[in-house]
Amino acid sequence: MDAGRMPSAPPPRVWAIGGGKGGIGKSVIAANLAVILAQRGRRVVLIDADLGGANLHTILGVSSRGPTLTDFVHRRCQRLCDIMVPTSTAGLSLISGSRALVDSANPKYNQKARLLRHIAALPADHVVLDLGAGSSFNVLDFFLAAEHGVVVVVPEATSVENAYHFLKAAYFRRMRRAQPRDRVKAAVAAAMAQLQALDIRSPKELLRRVSETDPVAAEGMLREARGFDPALVVNRVQRPEHRQLGADMGLACEDYFGRRMLLLGTIEEDEVVGRSVRERRPAAERYPDSRFVGGLQGVVERLVGEARVTRGA
Amino acid sequence: MARDARPQDWELLGLAPGAGLDQVRAAYARRKDLYGADALASYSLHDDAEREALLERLDDAYRTIVGELGDVVAVRAPVAPAPAVEVPPGPAPAVDQQPGAFLRHHRVARQVGTDRLAAETKIRASMLELLESESFHALPAPVYVRGFVVQCARALKLENPEGLAEAYVAKMQASIGDDT
């Protein structure tokens, strides 16, 4: 009860938006996904977890004063709902990220655990987490804790590179949990020692090899692999040949990790995005008929549909 | 000499053992493209040595599987050629029934490889494979496909490129149940 909700209410669905690189439209996508969900009648909390580079308040046109996630992390506020502020969209609340304190960009393990616990207890149907750039453990842990981690990528080599770096880091971070730990460690070490001889080039092949030598360890690894469930949004597409990028990256990930990556949508470059940020009003409110918002509507539908399938709701 | 196809060979192509020749061709062509040196979609996923090794293994898996399938197909129906051994074709397939095979027939008859046709039309070789194998579900929207077919037909100097494109798109739409 300490986070202020009835114990019987189901926990919110948490989606984390990441992708490794800054400046690819991640925050604008997170903000507008949250607005669209709220417009569809859901209770939504948008959390600016870009600790150190927060700017969702600007995108939504919310005052930058008032308590932030930093106050919660440092226990100046006890409950997450105390730092939620309403937005111009009915049903959507914002929890702002820190704007100044550098140390809050690296919360300790127990601070992170407390934050995740309180997120799960928020009085909301959906929580959208806007993650920071980079592949630090903090970003990865929030990404992995979400029902769906969504990677945003733009059709540029630097962005694709960061996305793969991010996905690999998240995969291996997840794999570290595989049980029984000692057997997994031993089996992986044995396979790695013969990497060349066994022609192992990907996590998928590593898993296949372990399944031949130690089925128990492989079962533990497979359990974690199944929980590795990233989704992809391709943003700012201009050229026709880049419309294939999402499907191609999905195939490359399937070949590499042995896991299907859900393609949520391909969004075309749209000048209303820049305009809406300048106007400090979310595009989903200001320009609901734009290509950008239309593309995001499709993303929301696929996310909600997928959630329904995986949760059997 | 030729070895037997292993489960890993099929896995490399992302297919279940026993998939058909067209699927094998399409899966191989798509990956050749996906893991090419200039491909954006796989950029940095592998380092250069890994990528080259992967391409070699793909070639090897493909040759092995097509070799096996080719034998099977040859026994069952001696007309179906494997792409690795593109033989001079027999009579051209009917445009309206097999527009993809019709394209392949005329390309092979003119001794134009998919690489050369790709260079001329600026359509990726993997896309050409999908077009020729009529892998409708893997192709983009009919509006793009129409353009691809016209370009290919022009590059191959076929008569009535528009008519061929019409026939192709008509079959595609009938097959995927989509009238957009």
The secondary structure of A21-67 as a DSSP string is -SSSSHHHHHHHHHHHHHHTT--EEEEEE-TTS--HHHHHT--S-S-
Same domain, B104 and B162: yes
CB A272 within 8 A of CB A28: no
Q: Is residue A46 classed as helix, strand or coil in its secondary structure?
A: strand
Question: Strands, DSSP E only, in chain A?
Answer: 13-18, 44-49, 84-86, 92-95, 126-131, 148-153, 231-237, 262-268
Distances (CA, A) of A213 to A183, A186, A188, A209, B7: 11, 11, 10, 7, 17
* Nearest of A228, A234, A293, A192 to residue A24 by alpha carbon: A234
Co-location of B152 and B70 in the same domain: no
In a domain, residue B81? The reply is no
Closest partner CB to B34 (pick from A161, A242, A248) = A248
Sheet arrangement for strand A44-49: A84-86, A92-95, A44-49, A126-131, A13-18, A148-153, A231-237, A262-268
Give the mutation candidate from B30, B44, B126 for the A interface (greatest A CB count, under 10 A): B44
Question: How sure is the predictor about A95, in pLDDT bands with cuts at 50, 70 and 90?
Answer: very high
Structure tokens at A191: 């396979």
* Higher pLDDT among residues B174 and A252, named by residue: A252
Question: Quick check: A240 contacting B, CB < 8 Å?
Answer: yes
**Residue B62 covered by a domain:** yes
A164 contacts chain B (CB < 8 A): yes
B95 and B166 share one domain:
yes
Q: Are residues B62 and B131 in the same domain?
A: no
Q: Which chain B residues contact residue A201 at CB under 8 A?
A: 46, 50, 53-54
The answer, yes or no, to whether residue B7 has pLDDT greater than 90, is no
Beta bridge partners of A14: A127
Mean pLDDT of chain A: 88
| CATH number for B47 | 1.10.287
Reply yes or no on whether the pLDDT at A290 is more than 50. yes
Residue B33 shares a structural domain with residue B96:
no
Question: Inter-chain contact B44–A164, Cβ cutoff 8 Å?
Answer: yes
Per CB-CB distance under 8 Å, the chain A contacts of B44 are 157, 160-161, 164-165
Which range is least confidently modeled, A93-97, A103-107, A192-196, B30-34? A103-107
Average confidence (pLDDT) over B17-23: 88
| A198 interfaces chain B, CB cutoff of 8 Å | no
State whether B40 and A254 contact (CB < 8 Å): no
Same domain membership, residue B109 and residue B140? yes
User: What's the CATH superfamily of A13-175+230-311?
Assistant: P-loop containing nucleotide triphosphate hydrolases (3.40.50.300)
Of B76, B102, B119, the position where a domain reaches its end is: B76
Q: Per mean pLDDT, which of A291-295, B12-16, B46-50, B98-102 is the most reliable?
A: A291-295
Rounded to a whole number of angstroms, the distance from the CA of A233 to the nearest CA of chain B is: 13
Cβ contact A138:A113 at 8 Å: no
Tell me whether residues A255 and B39 touch, CB distance under 8 A. Answer: no
Predicted local confidence at residue A8, as pLDDT:
63
B65 and B104, same structural domain?
no
**Could you tell me if B57 and B93 lie in one domain?**
no
Q: How far is B43 from chain A (nearest CA, A)?
A: 6
Query: Is the residue at B29 inside a domain?
Result: yes
Residue A199 pLDDT greater than 80, yes or no: no
- Is 80 exceeded by the pLDDT of residue A313? no
Number of Cβ within 10 Å of residue B152's Cβ equals 28
Which residues 8-47 of B are in CB contact (within 8 Å) with A? 8, 11-12, 14, 30-31, 34-35, 39-46
**Is B12 within a domain?**
yes
Query: Whole domain around residue B149: which residue ranges?
Result: 86-176
Dihedral (C-alpha) B51, B53, B55, B61: value to the nearest 10 degrees?
A: -150
Give yes or no: residues B91 and B69 share one domain: no
The amino acid present at B141, given as its one-letter code, is: A
| The domain boundary residue, chosen from B25, B51, B76 | B76
pLDDT of residue A148: 85
Global pTM exceeds 0.80 = no
Nearest in space to B93 (alpha carbons), one of B73, B83, B107: B107
CB contact under 8 A, A248 and B41: yes
Given B29, B58, B76, which residue is the final one in a domain?
Answer: B76
Q: Output the pLDDT for position A65.
A: 82
Find the helix packing angle between B114-121 and B125-132, rounded to 10°: 110
Q: Give the other-Cβ count within 10 Å of B106's Cβ.
A: 19
A18-30 average pLDDT score: 88
The ipTM estimated for the assembled molecules is 0.88
**Tokens at A13, concatenated:** 């669905």
Residue B109 domain flag: yes
On chain B, the residues whose CB falls within 8 A of the CB of A245 are 40-41
CB B167 within 8 A of CB B99: yes
Residues A161, B43: C-beta atoms closer than 8 Å: yes
For the segment A148-167, the average pLDDT, to the nearest whole number, is 95
pLDDT score of A201: 85
Asked whether the beta carbons of residue B14 and residue A255 sit closer than 8 angstroms, the reply is: yes
SS (H, E, C) A258-277: CCCCEEEEEEECCHHHHHHH
Distance from C-alpha of B9 to C-alpha of B4, rounded to nearest angstrom: 10
Instruction: For residue A306, name the pLDDT band (cuts at 50, 70, 90).
Output: low
Distance from C-alpha of A203 to C-alpha of A256, rounded to nearest angstrom: 6
Task: Provide mean pLDDT across the span A246-262.
Answer: 94
Overall average pLDDT of the A98-105 stretch:
55
Check CB contact under 8 Å for B41 and A161: no
Supply the pLDDT for residue A108.
Answer: 77
A151: which strand partners?
A18, A232
Does A81 contact chain B (CB < 8 Å)? no
Q: Are residues B42 and B117 in the same domain?
A: no
Confidence of residue A98 (pLDDT cuts 50, 70, 90): low
How many domains does chain B contain in total?
2
Q: Residue A301: which residues within 8 A CB-CB, separation 6 or more?
A: none
Is residue B144 within 8 angstroms of chain A, CB to CB? yes
Reported as a single tens digit per residue, the pLDDT across A210-239 is: 999 999 999 999 999 998 989 999 999 999
Chain A CA closest to residue B7? A208
Q: What is the DSSP letter of B3?
A: P
Contact B41 A254 (CB under 8 A): no
Q: Which residue spans of chain A are classified as CATH 3.40.50.300?
A: 13-175+230-311
* Same domain flag for B70 and B141: no
Paired sense of beta strands A44-49 and A92-95, if any: parallel
Q: Report the percentage of chain A scoring pLDDT > 70.
A: 92
- Kindly state whether residue B58 falls inside one of the protein's structural domains: yes
Q: Is residue B2, in this structure, part of any structural domain at all?
A: no
pLDDT of residue A138: 79
Q: What is the domain-level CATH number for residue B158?
A: 1.10.260.40
Same domain, residue pair B65 and B118: no
| pLDDT attached to residue B79 | 41
At B89 the pLDDT is 53
Burial category of B62 from C-beta neighbours within 10 Å (exposed 0-12, middle 13-18, buried 19 and up): buried
B1 falls within a domain: no
3-class DSSP assignment, residue A95: strand
Number of A:B CB contacts under 8 A? 51
